[in-house]
Amino acid sequence: MGDKYLMDSHKLHWHLDRVRDYFLGKKIAPIHIDVGLSKGCNIRCEYCFGVLQGNLYRKGSEIYFPREPLLRYIKDASKLGVKSLAFIGEAEPLLNPHVYEAIVFARKNSLDVSLGTNGILFDTSKKGISALENLTWIRFNISAGTEEGYRRIHRSNEFNTVVEKIKFCTDIKRKYKLPVTIGLQMVLTPNNVNELISLAKLGKRLKVDYLVVKQCSDTVDSRIGFFDKLDEYDNFFDILRMAEKESTKNYSVIIKWKKIANKGKRSYKQCLGVPFLLYSSGDGKLYPCGMFFDYKSKEYCMGDLTKQSFKDIIKSKRYWDVVEKVKKMDTSKCYSNCRTHAINEFLWELVHPPKHMNFI
């Protein structure tokens, strides 16, 4: 099966009314927001930006998005025309005690809502079932298919716990015939490529809908330690094709070939995607990009959702000043294959049409 979710591309083609409005000078609301719910994580994945940003869970000093501002944010987003929220962020969303309520509340407010999690803390009682009833999709971040590999890559001994939580979700989906899509995500690096086939087989055994394999995003100065190894991805093509062969009628192994093969290069010279895709951090601050959670954060913070309404923020001069400021950035210094990458490619092409464009 192919990539029916367009994970290696974008979906702006289905929101051209919003694109048109923006280029006509209208102040639009974003289509999607990646919403961080906490500033801590209970594992230490070797490829994670959150670890570099200091998002380590410390019992007794938890930082997470407070309940009332979070629910207000969700309601405002719906009223303003936001279409979807992904509870992903820079840390583990399940560390926020309000996550399950937020999922249900988002769906009641006509938003598509999803969850990206390491899965260790996923509730296996009423709250978890309710979440599965309301989520459009849930994705488990797991980059190893064996207990030893998981311990090495994620620096955690919870492999079997994660497997059981995934199985719980697929069992509940089948039992109640839920429409939720359940997937796994692997961040491919030279250190875990030997785990790929076992993970692809594990996903099939657990009856998830897909396994998606993506590149490791890193800064151009290789802060995580993988940008200067992107040439090595060429050596993985054979094993990636082997993994694809594990796909069945009901299970897809999806390889993000475009990003894996592009060696971190971009065709655009401006970041134009901010008005369509935003990020909020686990402490409730709104940003144009996750990179700014700990880099020039004051300079690029669009507003504080714990103190201001989302409506007031996106109508503010500050918000649109930051949008313009990002457009003037040198994208060659941004981290590789960011979330907005495919959107930026599309928008750059729109504002730089080819010669003889009427000869379609």
Digit-coded pLDDT (tens) for 267-309: 999 999 999 999 999 999 999 998 887 778 899 999 999 999 9
- pTM for the whole structure: 0.93
Q: Give the model confidence (pLDDT) of 174-201 as tens digits.
A: 999 999 999 999 999 888 999 999 999 9
Percent of the chain predicted with pLDDT > 70: 92
Q: Where are the domains of the chain?
A: 12-351
Q: How far apart are CA 143 and CA 151, in angstroms?
A: 10
Pick the CATH number of 12-351 from 3.20.20.70, 3.40.50.300, 3.40.630.10, 3.90.700.10: 3.20.20.70
Greater model confidence, 260 or 201: 201
Give CA separation, 154 vs 144, 163, 224, 327, in Å.
8, 14, 14, 35
- Please report, in angstroms and rounded to a whole number, the separation of the first and last CA atoms in the chain: 30
Helical ranges in 195-340 per DSSP H = 196-205, 237-244, 257-261, 297-300, 310-314, 317-327
Give the pLDDT score at 357: 92
Confidence of residue 332 (pLDDT cuts 50, 70, 90): confident
Nearest to 81 by CA among 9, 148, 45, 32: 32
Beta bridge partners of 349: none
